[in-house]
Structure 1
């Protein structure tokens, strides 16, 4: 065995790892990794912001911020319970916030939450409750939100952050944007998954303060209602929605791409094998689209992509051959180019598809106007 690496001199100016006194201090300052082949040719790749390096993933940021702001305003009193709907990642962020600020946390989820995530949330001190059936129109999200409302009505002083409509969710991502500016110097295109709408809206709005010409590209799941497609059952968790979150800033997007599960699985596994950095459904879908941007936009375009989490909660799904084979997700390399539609509701998309017309399906006031008007 060659031990020479053990005796290499330390660089005098190498930054020292952070010593945290509390786990919340580990949130933020996540690394960026250059990704090229097989998503784009050498020299034409994109920069991936690895939010899985946070203790619980990207939603540690809004979990802490929403709770902190609610306490500051007096909406959340000391020691009062926190109750929220989550498919998993925000649950981790709220568990961290509960530990940090001294609040019990109840996460309302559904049977699609991975058993490993249930065990992890429980180990972190959160109580997990599952709804039994999807809402006939709003799917699992609406069913979970109705159960949250029932719990709030029966628990004095309980507080729900309401990640789908809370502007604090958007505001939580200012640090992520400032980190990208410090790390990359310039961002021309931002590729982000869309679920609650928080990290795409919050990151893009701050980047545009420095780069007004920023192009924001949204990534959604097939069978998601966010951008005007009909809602349906979805294997992919962490992006997409059966409801229409108010935090989605429709006017900020230049285009939207819908991605199917098999395409995301292919991308996740390529990331793991080629770059030793991967994650879940959102990560795979974002990488697929960011690679297309890097290939097709003009040479020199600086593309940043947000990877919301790591691979660990997906070991029994995305990275499980038997599970993927059962769902017909293996052996399907995605096309080099997405299909294109002129209108977001032109047809029901079943695979990677893009549309450069983005509008709120409900015709609501743009998010920026709601914020200026003080609408919460």
Structure 2
């Protein structure tokens, strides 16, 4: 009988070919289905961050781990923390779906739920404020700080090697385009950086959400959770991207539903946004296009896959099939938009640290 080490089995997700005609017919692209990997996409970074903290002596044996999350990282952290013998407190907000709250609690996490967004930094800043209050009250607790921790990106170094191996198995020597959703910047930096080393001519496309501040747009309320950010994570490697797309919820909903009907591999906001841009990219370039589907559909059954919920928000109306084009990332946009000039936002700080001032 073979005994499986749960932490040693993190990752190893399948690479599949997607042909669902989203946002328009295309010749197909390859997608890493991270929902089918043990612990999900974020278990890769969670394992890297906690093991790195152990090696440096920052995380004591049995110490509590505290992190802010919109959901997906929480699953990975809970999975890894419990396996390593650490209690975990996750700071979430009241918009987190009840089924996801139940799942995180089932995985052994304690939830601190924030009920009011910060007037400037929204839910993300409000969660971070609460997180710092917890850290001040529990001196031995450890904050992985997914936004600025280089171990976050390092946790994805195995993923690009899996992509190379899987492509070679179907006779594809290299990819021409990589499409990556961007939140904390972890998986886009880890995967993109490694693949660019192997394939210097690789075109890397970042996928953000409307209302996200990562690439220079003003931060506004975002319908799409788990994609984008109201702060500027230090893990985002701006110089790596050849272009960025801001995708709207209507495009993401259409993509997720079309993938479910015609591809049998679907997911949530990040997956729908990545699929929208990957399908578009596959229609623009002749070489292989690769993307990552970060999550599965389970937590979105009462939102993306609920007709009434979507209809109330006009998300079932026909989406755009091509992006609007702008020349400067700071040009305000209200629809799926593409910019081929990516620069780091001119900001003095990245993630809120809790310091005065």
Same structural fold, with TM-score higher than 0.5 when normalized by the shorter chain: yes
Q: Counterpart of 1:84?
A: 67
Q: What CA distance in whole angstroms lies between the structure 1 residues aligned with 2:320 and 2:228?
A: 21
Asked if structure 2 preserves the Cα contact closer than 8 Å seen for 1:64 and 1:96, the reply is no
2:28 paired with 1:45: yes
1:112-163 CA deviation, whole Å, 9 max, x = no partner? 1111110000011000111121112211111111111110111131000000
Find 2:54's aligned residue among 71, 75, 89: 71
- Counterpart in the other structure of 2:147: 164
**Contact 1:20–1:26 at 8 Å: present in 2 too?**
no
- Report how far residue 19 of structure 1 moved: 5.4
**Aligned residue in 1 for 2:355:** none
| Equivalent residue runs for 1:128-147 within 5 Å | 128-147=111-130
Q: CA deviation at 1:55?
A: 3.3
CA distance in 2, matches of 1:20, 1:314: 33
Structure 1, unmatched stretches of 5+, are 1-17, 366-376
Partner of 2:320: 335
- In the aligned structure 2, how far is the partner of 1:55 from the partner of 1:319? 24
Aligned to 2:344: 360
CA distance in structure 1 between the aligned counterparts of 2:238 and 2:160, rounded to whole angstroms: 19
Cα deviation for residue 22 of structure 1 reads 3.3
CA deviation profile, 1:58-82 (whole Å, cap 9, x unmatched): 1010111101110111000000000
Give the deviation of 1:364 after TM superposition.
Answer: 7.3
Matches within 5 A, 1:211-250: 211-250=199-238
CA-CA distance at 1:37 after TM superposition: 3.3
The aligned counterpart of 1:371 is: none
Give the equivalent residue in structure 1 for 2:191: 203
Structure 1 residue 25: Cα displacement: 3.2
1:26-72 per-position Cα deviation (integer Å, ceiling 9, x unaligned): 32111011112313546x21101101112342101011110111011
Aligned residue number for residue 162 of structure 2: 179
SS of the aligned residue for 2:175 comes to coil
2:290 equivalent in structure 1: 304
Deviations 1:279-336 (A, max 9, x none): 0000001001001100011x2x111011001000111111111111122211x23222
After TM superposition, where is structure 1 displaced by more than 4 Å over at least 4 residues in a row? none
Matched pairs, number:
343
Q: Which has the higher contact order (CA 8 A, sep 6+)?
A: 2
Distance of 1:146 and 1:351 partners within structure 2: 31
Distance 1:218 1:20 in 2: 39
Please state how far the C-alpha of 1:23 moved relative to its aligned partner. Answer: 2.6
Task: Report the Cα distance in structure 1 between the residues aligned to 2:115 and 2:225, rounded to whole angstroms.
Answer: 17
Taking structure 2 as the reference length, the TM-score comes to: 0.93
Larger radius of gyration: 1
Q: Cα distance, 1:20 vs. partner? A: 5.2
Gaps of 5+ in 2: 169-173, 350-357
Return the offset for 1:360: 1.0
Give, in whole Å, the separation in 2 of the partners of 1:363 and 1:47: 35
CA contact (8 A) 1:84 1:148 kept: yes
